[in-house]
Amino acid sequence: MDAIFLQVLNGLDKGGAYALIALGLTLVFGTLGVVNFAHGALFMLGAFCAVSVQSILTISQKVRDESITFFEAYKEIPYLEIWWGETGSIIIDYAVPISIVVAIPVMLLIGLAMERGLIRHFYKRTHAEQILVTFGLAIVVQEIIKANFGANPIPVPAPDIVSGSANIGTWLGMSDTIVYPWWRLIYFVFSLTVIAAVFAFLQLTTFGMVVRAGMRNREMVGLLGIDIQRKFTIVFGLGAVVAGVAGAMYTPMLPPDYHMGMDFLVLSFVVVVVGGMGSLGGAVAAGFLLGLLQSFAAMNEIKSLIPGIDQIIIYLVAVIIILVRPRGLFGREGVMED
């Protein structure tokens, strides 16, 4: 029972990440009709926003390290700590939350630049060509990151205060074996917040209404005098922001490397397809659903029943969904169905 509860929690935070990536991907696909293979790269760029913020905050002075006598070694003391002492350390400690604030404008700009510079020239080309050019872009982006940050993962810790784990079992009056890392709980709540914010934005603002309308009938919106292209440029930026903050927040859970975008890309497409291409609600639901499924498939009891199921469960679900119900669980009829 406790084990199941833990797996649910585990599935939820994983699902939160999937849902956020898939949400951004769906926004872009639903509005622009572009199959963006570079979306994973946006997630990765968000994570590297956090890395950059951390490395900017820890720009250091080199001081001769006297403890090493064999040769001249230097240790690095961040200027922030030299100038502000304790306060400086606290600021460095909060690199990830700070990076969220930084990531929003940065990712928006990156998204807008990407749409203006490349994506918009591919609206009228085939899906295959969109896949190809964004696949190429993803390679280029990840190689640029590799050239600048190296190939190895770079740890970006969560603030000290939330680096431990929460004793959920005790709170709920259950067994004390149910502990869960704070940051993962925060990530789950954060993903819900972002999802809620995106939906509120779409439901409650005029701009959001135009976007919703454009996703359903792009032509009519244009015929009503609205420059849908221009609005959608902003939507692309929004999708980039959602992917970016998802990536930045993910760094304490998984030290980012240049390849993480590709790793998440396949997954996020699977999530989108399972949810239904173009369905925002579907993306979110499928994200959580697949997160939970994957978490449960990894339980030792299940694995001993069906060996290897944890390795393929997500893809298996995707295959079945595409074959049985190509529009996905929540997709509308006709969207990308042949």
Partner 1 sequence: MMKQTSATKDLIIMLVFIAAVLTAPIWLTPIGANYPDLLQKFAIYGIFAIGFNILFGLTGYLSFGHAVFLGIGSYAAVWSFKLLTMNILPAILFAVMWSGLFSVILGYISLRRSGIYFSILTLAFAQMSYNLAYSVLTPITNGETGLQLRLADPRYIDNMFTKAVSEGIPSTNLFGIKMSGYSGFYFCAVVLIICFWISLKIFRSPFGLTLSGIKSNQHRMKYTGFNPRPYLLAAFVISGMYAGLAGALLAVTDPLAGAERMQWTASGEVVLMTILGGLGTLIGPVIGAGVIKYFENIFSSIGDQNLFEMLSWLPEGMQSIVAYVISPFVGSGWHLTLGLVFMLIVIFLPGGLVSGFSKLASTFRPKKKTPQPVASTVSNASGTKEGE
Partner 2 sequence: MSKIITSKWSRRGVLKAGAVTGAAISAPMFFTRNAFAAEFLNDPGSAANVTFGFNVPQTGAYADEGGDELRAYQLAVKHINGEGDGGMMNTMKPISLSGSGVLGKKVTYVTGDTQTKSDAARASAKRMIEKDGVTMVTGGSSSGVAIAVQSLCQEAGVIFMAGLTHSNDTTGKDKRRNGFRHFFNAYMSGAALGPVLEKNYGNERNAYHLTADYTWGWTQEASMIASTENIGWKTAATVKTPVGAGDFSQFITPVLNSGADTLILNHYGKDMINSLTQAVQFGLRDKQVNGKDFTIVVPLYSRLMAQGAGDNVKGIFGSTNWHWSLPDAGSQAFVKSFGAEYGFPPSQAAHTCYVQALLYADACERAGTFMPSEVIKQLEGYKFDGMGNGPTEYRAEDHQCFKDVLVVKGKENPSSQFDVLEVVEVTPRAQVEYKPDHEMFAGGDLGPANNGV
Partner 3 sequence: MSEDKPLSLEPKTEAGEMPYFSVRDIHAYYAESYIVQGVSFDINEKEILALLGRNGAGKTSTMRAIARAAAPEIRGGEIYLQGQAVHEMQDFQAARAGIQLVPEDRAIIPGLTVEENIILAQIEEPIGWPLEQIYGHFPRLAERRMQMGTTLSGGEQQMLAVARALARDIKILLLDEPYEGLAPTIVREIETILLELKQLGFTSIIVEQNAVAALKLADRAVILDTGVVVYDGSAQEVLDNEELRHEYLAI
Q: With CB under 8 A as the rule, give the number of residues binding partner 1.
A: 41
Eight-state DSSP code of residue 331: P
55, 58, 89, 165: residue in contact with partner 2 (rule CB under 8 A): 165
Task: Give least dist CB 179 to partner 2, A.
Answer: 4
Q: Cα 102 vs. chain centroid, distance in angstroms?
A: 16
Question: Which residues, in sequence order, are CB contacts of 270 under 8 Å at separation 6+?
Answer: 290, 314, 315, 317, 318
- Residues 215-234 vs partner 3: string with x where CB under 8 A? -xx-xxxxxxxxxx------
Residues between 122 and 151 with contacts to partner 2, criterion CB under 8 A:
146-148, 150-151
Nearest in space to 328 (alpha carbons), one of 274, 256, 288: 274
Based on the shown chain and the rule CB under 8 A, indicate whether residue 113 belongs to the binding site for partner 1: no
Helices marked H in 172-308: 182-204, 206-216, 218-223, 228-250, 260-275, 280-297, 300-305
Nearest in space to 281 (alpha carbons), one of 335, 206, 332: 332
Eight-state DSSP code of residue 158: P
Task: Give least dist CB 155 to partner 3, A.
Answer: 43
Based on the shown chain and the rule CB under 8 A, indicate whether residue 81 belongs to the binding site for partner 2: no
Nearer to partner 3, 137 or 228 (CB): 228
Based on the shown chain and the rule CB under 8 A, indicate whether residue 312 belongs to the binding site for partner 1: yes
Number of neighbouring beta carbons within 10 Å of residue 147: 10
For residues 86 and 97, give the distance between their C-alpha atoms in angstroms, rounded to a whole number: 18
SS3 state of residue 225: coil
178, 248, 271, 314: residue in contact with partner 2 (rule CB under 8 A): 178
Burial of residue 302 (number of CB atoms within 10 Å: 0-12, 13-18, 19+): middle
Nearer to partner 1, 160 or 263 (CB): 263
Report the partner that residue 209 touches, choosing among partner 2, partner 3, partner 1, none (CB closer than 5 to 8 A by kind).
Answer: partner 3
Length of the chain, in residues: 338
Report the partner that residue 298 touches, choosing among partner 1, partner 2, partner 3, none (CB closer than 5 to 8 A by kind).
Answer: partner 2
Phi, psi dihedrals of residue 29, rounded to the nearest 5°: -65, -45
Based on the shown chain and the rule CB under 8 A, indicate whether residue 128 belongs to the binding site for partner 3: no
Burial of residue 41 (number of CB atoms within 10 Å: 0-12, 13-18, 19+): buried
Q: Which stretch binds partner 2 (CB under 8 A): 88-96, 152-160, 217-225, 227-235?
A: 152-160
Residues that bind partner 3 (CB under 8 A): 206, 209-210, 212-213, 216-217, 219-228, 332
Residues that bind partner 1 (CB under 8 A): 35, 118, 121, 124-129, 131-133, 135-140, 143-144, 146-147, 262, 266, 269-270, 273, 277, 307-308, 311-312, 315-316, 318-319, 322-323, 326, 336, 338
Residues that bind partner 2 (CB under 8 A): 2-3, 6-7, 9-10, 13-14, 65, 67-68, 70-76, 146-148, 150-153, 155, 157, 163-165, 167, 177-181, 183-184, 253-255, 257, 260, 263, 294-295, 298-300, 310-311
